[in-house]
Amino acid sequence: MSRPKQKLALLTILSIWILSGTLLFIATGAYAQTRTNNSDIYSQLKLFNEVLMRLKQSYVTDLSDSELIEAAIKGMLDSVDPHTNYFTPDEFSDFTTSTRGEFGGLGIQIDKKGDYITVISPIEGTPAFRMGITAGDKIVKVDGESIVGMSTDEAIKRMRGEIGTKVTITISRPGVANPLDFLIIREAIKIRSVPYSFVLDNRVGYIRISQFNENTSRELREALGKVEEEGIKGLIIDLRWNPGGLLDQAIDTVNEFIGDGKLVVETKGRMNNTNRQYYTRFSIKERNYPIVVLVNEASASASEIFAGSLQDWDKGLVMGKTTFGKGSVQQLYPLSYGYGIKVTTSYYYIKSGRCIHKTLTDKLLKGEEVSKEELDTEKENNHKEVYYTVNNRKVYGGGGITPDIEAESDFLTTFGVELRRNNLFFDFAVDYLVKNDHQATKDFYVSDRLFNEFLEYARDKKIEFNQVDVDSAATFIRTSIRSEVIGKVFGEQEAYKNSISQDRQLKEAIALFDKFNTMEEMFSHAATLRKED
C-alpha cells in the first residue's frame, strides 16, 4: 500500500474509533440525551468524517493530519466561550505555572484571541506593569517580527529569554491608531499576591491583593497581623485590576472576615458533580472595624467572589465600579501525550443568590462587537434583579458585583500614556539621583523647576506635546516623578504609597473613615446615596 493511502486508511480508522467511542459513551448512559439527539450526533460525526476524507483526498497540496485535527478541535472550542481552551503540552505546562507564584518573563498573562496574542492582565510590580501594558493589548510583533497567527506556545518562547536581556514588543491597543513599541528588560518574575500593606495617615489599614494564587491566604493573614498591630480603626482592601485566580484561596480569604461554617459560593452546572457548595473552614479572631473593598471594571472571577461575599455577609462595603463579570468555572483536564483542555462546566452563585457571570463578557473576550445599547440594556436588566444580604440590605446583580457606592476612576491622558510607555519617569529619576548623590527625603517635592526640567527631558526624547497636554497631565507627572525618586531611595512600597496618594477612588474611600466609625453607618450612607440616584 502506498504511503498516502496508508495514511488515509489510518485516518479513516481514527475517525471510526472516534465515532465508535462516542456511540459507546452514549450507549452506556454517560451522556444522557434522547435517541433523537444520539442519532444527530452520529450523523454529524459521519459528516465530519466525510469532509475530512474529501479534504485529504482532493486538496491541492498534502495536508498534515495532526494540524487538521488540531484545527478542528480548536474550531469546536472557539464556538462555545472564550474560557474553554485547548492546550499543547508546553501551553498546558505554562498555564499551570501561572498560579504557582514564581516564573520568568515580562510579567504578563496572555491568551490567544482569534489570530492575536492578547494581554489578559499585566502582573503588578513587573516590567510590563510598570511600563503601562494593559489588559486588552494585542501583541503583534516581538523584536520586529510578526507573531500574528502564531501559537501561544511559540509567542511565549519569543518573549522569554535570559534575565537582564532586552526585548521589544509591539502592541496594537484598542482606540490607538498606531502600534506602540515597548522596550522591556526581562526579569525573574516573582508574584506576590499581597504586594503592599501599610497604615495610612488616618489610621486606616490598606491591603492590596493583586491576584489569588496559592500564597494569597497566607500573605493576607501576615498583612492583617502587620496592620492590626498598629491599631487600625478600619481597613481598605484594594482589588482593582485583580484578574482572579484560585477559588479555594478566594474562599479562605473571605474566611478571614466572616468566620467558619459560612456559605461563600456555590457552582451550578449541567452535570451533578459540578453542583457544589463551598463553606469557610477556620475559626478566626473577630474583626469589628469597618471595611471598604475597592473594585473596578477589571476586577474579575475570584476577586468578584471575595468582594461579593463580604458584601453579602455585611462585612464590607464595596466601592468603585461594577466588576468585570467573569463568573464561569473551568476545569482542567489532562489529555494524552501532555495535551490538555480547559472546559467551562458551571457558573458561580454567591450567598445572596447572585450569579456573577455577565453574558456580554464572553462576546467581548471573543473579539465580537458589542454595542453601547447592549451594554446599557444588560446593566439595566441586572439592576432590576434585587437580592438581599444576611442583614437584609438590598444588593443588585448579577453580571458582576455592583458596588454599594460608585466612584469614578482617574483618567490617564494620551500624553501620560506616552510618557509611561517610554519609561521616561524611571530614566529621569535615575539621572536626577546620580546628579544628587542618590539623596532624597520621604517628603521629596517636585518643584516647578524640576517639573520643567522633566518637560525638556521629554522633548529631548522626541515626545510631542502642547500646553493643554501638560495641564491635563500635570498632577500625574508630578506624582510619577516623586514616586520614582522616592522608590529608588526608600523602596518599592514607599513608591507605591506615593503613587496612590492622588488616586481618586482611594481618596473617596479614605474619606468614608473620616465621616463614619462603623460598618452600619457606612451602609446607611450608601443606602441614602442610592435613594438620591
Active site residue 352: no
Using CA atoms, how far apart are residues 357 and 329, in angstroms rounded to an integer? Answer: 10
Backbone angles phi, psi at 66, to 5 degrees: -65, -40
Q: 220: buried, middle or exposed (CB in 10 Å: 19+, 13-18, 0-12)? A: buried
C-alpha cell at 83: 474560557
C-alpha torsion sign, points 282, 286, 287, 288:
positive
Which one is catalytic: 138, 262, 321, 326? 326
Residue tagged active-site, from 94, 312, 362, 469: 312
Does the annotation count 351 as an active-site position?
no
Residue 136: name the closest of 294, 293, 297 by CA: 297
Active site residue 301: yes
* Amino acid type, 398: G
Q: Which of 15, 301, 303, 346 is catalytic?
A: 301
Q: Write the CA distances from 325 to 85, 173, 399, 460, 532, integer angstroms.
A: 19, 22, 5, 44, 26
First to last CA, the chain: 78
Specify whether the CB–CB gap between 211 and 191 falls below 8 A: yes
- Burial environment of residue 5 by CB neighbours within 10 A (0 to 12, 13 to 18, 19 or more): exposed
Nearest to 237 by CA among 249, 254, 252: 254
| Residues designated as active site | 301, 312, 326
